[in-house]
């Protein structure tokens, strides 16, 4: 699977990837089942689909690990949420509302849009729910001097 845009994954997979990232890049199936209160068989299916994308590996004794690609992708997903939620606070949303609202539509927004918004906001270093990291994509959107 060619990953370029951030819209390839369903919201559930996005949430799983972010969870794995937040937990140091490695979790067990039971951690996901506990965290999201879903049936382990559902988790297994979603994890198998995610493995096919090359974003994670799943081995019997090592658990579920982010690959390098998966790690970069998770960084982007986190940035996407933080850029959009920060943007919403400019329109009168409270921090909590902005977080919730961004989670509703963030998986529909293209990377190009995120990169442009990031550049237009001057590459903010701090979002409302954490630090924002920047990649080459958003810097390429800077107006040429």
Binding site for Zn ion (CB under 5 A): 85, 99, 118, 123, 129, 134, 138
- Distance of closest approach, residue 67 Cβ to Zn ion, in angstroms: 24
Q: Name the token pair of 89.
A: 């606070």
Euclidean distance between the first and final Cα of the chain, in Å? 36
- Distance of closest approach, residue 40 Cβ to Zn ion, in angstroms: 28
| Cβ closest to Zn ion, residue 52 vs residue 96 | 96
Q: How far apart are CA 50 and CA 16, in angstroms?
A: 9
| Cβ closest to Zn ion, residue 53 vs residue 82 | 82
- Distance of closest approach, residue 83 Cβ to Zn ion, in angstroms: 8
- Distance of closest approach, residue 119 Cβ to Zn ion, in angstroms: 6
| Cβ closest to Zn ion, residue 7 vs residue 123 | 123
| Cβ closest to Zn ion, residue 3 vs residue 129 | 129
| C-alpha closest to that of 6 among 66, 81, 97, 101 | 81
DSSP string, 3-27: -SSS-SS-HHHHHHHHHHHHTTTEE
């Amino acid at each position: 699977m060619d990953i370029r845009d951030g819209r390839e994954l369903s919201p559930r997979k996005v949430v799983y990837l972010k969870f794995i990232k937040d937990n140091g890049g490695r979790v067990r199936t039971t951690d996901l089942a506990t965290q999201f209160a879903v049936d382990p068989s559902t988790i297994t299916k979603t994890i198998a689909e995610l493995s096919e994308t090359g974003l994670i590996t799943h081995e019997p004794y090592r658990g579920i690990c982010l690959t390098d690609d998966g790690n970069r992708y998770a960084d982007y997903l986190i940035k996407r949420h933080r850029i959009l939620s920060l943007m919403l606070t400019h329109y009168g949303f409270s921090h909590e509302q902005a977080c919730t609202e961004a989670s509703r539509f963030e998986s529909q927004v293209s990377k190009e849009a995120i990169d442009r918004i990031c550049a237009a906001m001057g590459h903010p270093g701090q979002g409302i729910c954490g630090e924002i990291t920047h990649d080459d994509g958003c810097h390429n959107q800077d107006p040429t001097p």
